[in-house]
């Protein structure tokens, strides 16, 4: 059974993206152990001069590093991911590199019809940056539209097509995790390149 980490990609206390990840944790309990974590308690990124990282950041980085794969569910604000998610990823690529070669599944929920499609594209671009170097599962958009109406009173998805699509994508992700975790020949070099990268020097 795979040990996965699910990051709620917002600091909102009422996000349907949190509901989606909690649903996945329960729905896939026989296939994977999924820990849902929050980013709302992380301090604002300020690039500390002495590279000392806050304990909350180190704790989250340790969880990412220890997981076999990461799921990130993001809402969409102004065609982009929330500032709180960017903040978390800024911390997680500052002198620590837990996302290098880490298999990641990107998904999202939104109140409207687009299901955070632009935010997911934005997040994929960020995760592909030289400092993060994550392995994002391709061709795997999961766009939960009209998310306020998507769950029943027990927190379960109501639409059979939504469930069927998520089931298929999650099965694919487990395979992607298995394959990705065997592709480690260049891992140390990839981490070294991430550590040595500097926008100031380019």
What are the angstrom distances between the C-alpha of 44 and each of 85, 91, 195?
Answer: 11, 9, 21
- Quickly count: other Cβ atoms within 10 Å of residue 153's Cβ: 5
Phi, psi (rounded to 5 degrees) for 90: -60, -45
Query: Which pLDDT does position 190 carry in this prediction?
Result: 82
d(C-alpha 145, C-alpha 149), whole Å: 9
Tally the domains of the chain. 1
Query: CB burial class (10 A; 0-12, 13-18, 19+) of residue 48?
Result: exposed
Query: Which pLDDT does position 46 carry in this prediction?
Result: 87
Write the CATH number for 28. Answer: 3.40.50.360
Look up the domain containing 113 and give its range. 2-201
User: Do the bridges between strand 69-73 and strand 32-37 make them parallel or antiparallel, or are there none, so unpaired?
Assistant: unpaired
Task: Show pLDDT as tens, one digit a residue, over the chain (202 residues).
Answer: 999 999 999 999 999 999 999 999 999 999 999 999 999 999 999 887 778 899 999 999 999 999 999 999 999 888 899 999 999 999 999 999 999 999 999 999 988 777 789 999 999 999 999 999 999 999 888 999 899 899 999 999 999 999 999 999 999 999 999 999 888 888 888 888 887 877 655 5
DSSP string, 49-103: TT-PPPHHHHHHHHHHHHSSEEEEE---BTTB--HHHHHHHHHTTSS--TTTT-E
């Amino acid at each position: 059974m795979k040990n996965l980490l699910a990051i709620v990609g917002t600091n909102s206390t009422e996000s349907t993206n949190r509901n989606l990840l909690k649903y996945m944790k329960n729905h896939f309990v026989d296939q994977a152990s999924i820990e849902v974590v929050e980013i709302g308690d992380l301090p604002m990124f300020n690039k500390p001069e002495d590279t000392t990282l806050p304990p909350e950041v180190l704790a989250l980085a340790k969880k990412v590093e220890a997981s076999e794969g990461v799921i990130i569910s993001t809402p969409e604000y102004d065609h982009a991911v929330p500032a709180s998610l960017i903040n978390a990823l800024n911390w997680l690529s500052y002198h620590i590199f837990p996302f290098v070669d880490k298999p990641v599944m990107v998904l999202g929920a939104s109140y409207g019809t687009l299901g955070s499609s632009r935010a997911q594209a934005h997040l994929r671009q960020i995760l592909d940056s030289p400092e993060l170097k994550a392995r994002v599962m391709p061709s795997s958009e999961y766009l939960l539209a009209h998310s306020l109406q998507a769950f029943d009173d027990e927190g379960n998805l109501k639409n059979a097509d939504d469930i069927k699509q998520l089931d298929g994508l999650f099965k694919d992700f487990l395979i992607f995790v298995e394959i990705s975790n065997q592709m480690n020949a260049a891992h140390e070099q990839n981490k070294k390149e991430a550590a040595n990268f500097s926008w100031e020097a380019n």
